[in-house]
Amino acid sequence: MNEFTLSIVLIVLSGVFQGTFGLGMRRFAPLAWEAFWLIFAVGGMIVAPCIWASLTIPDFIAAILAVPAGTLFLALFLGACWGVGAMMFGLAVNYLGMSLAYGVTMGLAASIGSLVPLVQKGNVTLDRPTLFILLGNLVMVMGVAIVTYAGISRDRLQAVRGEKIAGIQTGRLFWLGLFFCVFNGVAAALLNIGFTLAEPAAKAAIAQGIDFTAEAERSLVRNASMVKWVIVFAGGVLINVGYVSYLLIKNKSYTTYRSKGAGKGYFWALVTAVIWFLALAFYGQGAALMGRLGEVIGWAMFLALSLVVSNAWGIAGGEWKNVPRPLAVMLLGNAVLVVSAIILGYANSLQ
């Protein structure tokens, strides 16, 4: 399999995992939300990335220390901002349902998180790859808008019927969930911006493989992105762990770790952490193989495809039951998102 095809496969896999991990956020009972989130944060943001980096990079700590202090601090700070948004997304899914929460969040995250790194790369010209990147982002935003409109139409129709689907709130809680989504969308974009800033760490990791065989060197190039995730996740995990630890003490919800049936909560917390981590790990590998504009093209593709997958899970979960017209609009939005991913894939082929 050539590198172009492999990069597309990895991005598609990352989208599948990203669109799926949110399912675990509804299955953490009898654990309290903060008890669940602590396991998720430690497992997905610290343990898994460090294990992966230690197994694939000769000295990932040295690679991190090779990053200029100012750049390292900024990447950590952007990771911390993302950490605040990540916690809010966990609540937004419960207020808006998976489909609508993903729609608002991923639309903002994909567009901002793709176009800002494009400017970061410097020497931006309106050549064919750039034009197709802009077109792909425009089409993607259109798809997100269609999906979001479908979700709002569905909610209005169900409100008229007096129906309610688990995870979709009304009134003040709906608008609170929408605020969480917008904040998290911007914060999620900062995650990719921080990931792009941490590029010196990946270059330092690749430099460690100067005496490697050709195959080992190619593997190192794919996995070097993991050291960038270790940096930005470090900023995010401090916020996550600090906040949920406060809640555990304040609400005395740490007692739920010993409640009957807590094993189920532990299981789903770990599964959710692994699925979420794999999504970003595969995205990082795919972006690395895409070349200079990998974080620009791959990020938008990654999130567009994750929204399609999350909508599929929303259908399976009953979020679109007995609402044929909104469902048709949502499926149209998904088709537009797939088209945007195809356009972005073509843009990548033009590099």
| Burial track 33-64 (b if 16+ CB lie within 10 A, e otherwise) | bbbbbbbbbbbbbbebbbebbeebbeebeebb
Residue whose pair of structure tokens reads 């070349």 in the numeric block = 291
What are the tens digits of pLDDT across the range 201-221? 999 998 887 667 777 777 888
Q: Which domain holds residue 81?
A: 26-349
Tell me the β-bridge partners of 168.
Answer: 96
Residue 8 lies in a domain: no
Q: Give the total number of structural domains in the chain.
A: 1
Share of the chain above pLDDT 70, in %: 93
Asked if 181 and 101 touch (Cβ cutoff 8 Å), the reply is: yes
What are the tens digits of pLDDT across the range 114-155? 888 888 776 667 778 888 888 988 998 899 889 888 887 887
Residue 296 lies in a domain: yes
Measure the CA–CA gap between 55 and 227, rounded to whole angstroms.
11
3-state SS, residue 58: coil
Residue 302 lies in a domain: yes
* Whether the predicted pLDDT of 184 surpasses 60: yes
**pTM score of the predicted model:** 0.84
Residue 12 lies in a domain: no
Sorted by sequence, the CB contacts under 8 Å of residue 343 that are 6+ apart come out as 132, 135, 136, 139
Residue 164 lies in a domain: yes
Nearest to 132 by CA among 294, 20, 270, 297: 297
Look over the chain and give the mean of its residue pLDDT values, rounded to a whole number: 86
Residue 152 lies in a domain: yes
* Whether the predicted pLDDT of 167 surpasses 60: no
**The amino acid at 92:** A
Residue 188 lies in a domain: yes
* Whether the predicted pLDDT of 165 surpasses 60: no
Residue 132 structure tokens = 């197709």
Measure the CA–CA gap between 51 and 204, rounded to whole angstroms.
18
Residue 9 lies in a domain: no
Nearest to 48 by CA among 292, 308, 271: 271
